[in-house]
Amino acid sequence: MLHVVIMAGGSGTRFWPESRRERPKQFLKLAGERSLLQGTFDRCLPLVAPEQVWVVTNAVQAGQTRQQLPEIPAGNVVIEPCARNTAPCIGLAAVRLLHQDPDAVMAVLPADHVIQPPEVFRGALESASELVAADGSRLVLFGVPPNHPATGFGYIERGEAVADSKNAWQVASFREKPDRKTAEEYVRSGRFYWNCGIFVWRADRILKAIQAHEPEMHDRLQQLASVVGTADWEASLSEQFPQMNSISIDYAVLEREAGICVLEAAYQWDDVGSWHAMPRLIGADDDGNTVIGRHRGIDTKDCIVRTTGDHLVATLGLEGCIVVHTADATLVARTDDENAIKKLVELIRDEGDERFL
């Protein structure tokens, strides 16, 4: 049976000051009337029932996760004791799924992407599930055809076509975030996809891959598997999980494993990585401004303005800036340095202003 596992423990610092530790970007309404987390849940229905949806998050965000997704059973919110990257996260989810369904197939999705149209996405999940059903050893990745030479994404190079599919290929190689010249070559070649971090595989298969490449992690996951559903679960989780190697599933397994295939994604995908995504998601006016909330401006061009409630942001002679107003913090930044907000958050933390984070 297909289950959906939503990874929702991130912090989303590039959306500060609206994204905070207790309310990170997956809880924000950045592309519609539903939050990014709710949108991720919505587009999986009715392919899977709410009982087949699982969310892995942390203790701070678990309550709000349950509030935003009351449809899923409370026990399907799996709490990590600490952040250990995606390999332990996926291993933990696999252990929980196998306790309930020994034949579980898991679709692993980040909580903070925007994907349209949802019916095309569900069709892609079905195609991936069929690939896994035909060969349970397969690890299926989704690859997005690049429409520009992005330097902030990892790339997947496709190899030979998968015989029983029209739009799947064996993975020839993984390439890390390239420089612009290399990214342009990737786009021209037609052989490369953006790695969007969406996967489909059998739960027992990914645990076997973890066993092969991260045996210590696997041993700790097996300790957890032996106490699922018992009174010893919480204590064992608190002991075992923090000791697991903090590593992504890409480095832990995918770049070391054979038999991986990439399914070409026919849907539109945006990873909503920072405020810079907002013009792509909701458009801009004739002056190039993207505005959410109340704004009045003179000689204001190519700006991103975000405010809430009745608060008015007024700008004069501003160009190429981000302005985000919240109740206790306001950000004013240039749009030409996407990583600067993350540095700013680090500075705020280092200066002892934790209450603003």
Residue 251: phi and psi, rounded to 5, are -75, -35
Q: What is the pLDDT of residues 128-172, one digit of tens each?
A: 999 999 999 999 999 999 989 988 899 999 999 998 788 999 999
Coil, strand or helix at 199: strand
Query: Which residue(s) pair with 286 in the sheet?
Result: none
Q: How many CA atoms lie within 13 A of 102 on its CB side?
A: 0
Q: Which two tokens stand for residue 16?
A: 């500060």
DSSP 167: S
Q: Give residues with Cβ within 8 angstroms of 7, minimum separation 6.
A: 56, 86, 89, 90, 108, 109, 110, 111
The per-residue pLDDT for range 116-129, each reduced to its tens digit, is 999 999 999 999 99
Only one residue has tokens 């980040």, namely: 110
Q: Residue 206 carries which side chain, given as an amino acid letter?
A: I
Distance CA 28, CA 307 (A): 13
> What's the length of the chain?
357
CATH number of 2-270: 3.90.550.10
pLDDT of residue 152: 86
**CA nearest 81: which of 56, 116, 111, 108?**
56
Task: Write out the residue limits of the CATH 3.90.550.10 domain(s) in the chain.
Answer: 2-270
Identify whether the C-beta of residue 149 lies closer than 8 Å to the C-beta of residue 184.
yes
Residue 6 near residue 40 (C-beta atoms within 8 A): yes
- Using the Cα atoms of residue 172, residue 108, residue 105 and residue 94 in order, give the sign of their dihedral: positive
Measured CA angle at 153 (ends 173, 116), to 5 deg: 105
Q: Which residues pair with 310 in a beta bridge?
A: none
The pLDDT value given to residue 120 = 97
| pLDDT < 70 regions, the chain | none
pTM of the model: 0.93
Whether the CB-CB separation of 273 and 115 falls below 8 Å is answered with: no
Residue type, 302: D
Rg (CA), the chain: 21
Answer for the pair 2, 128: CB distance below 8 angstroms, yes or no: no
Contact 82, 239 (CB under 8 A): no
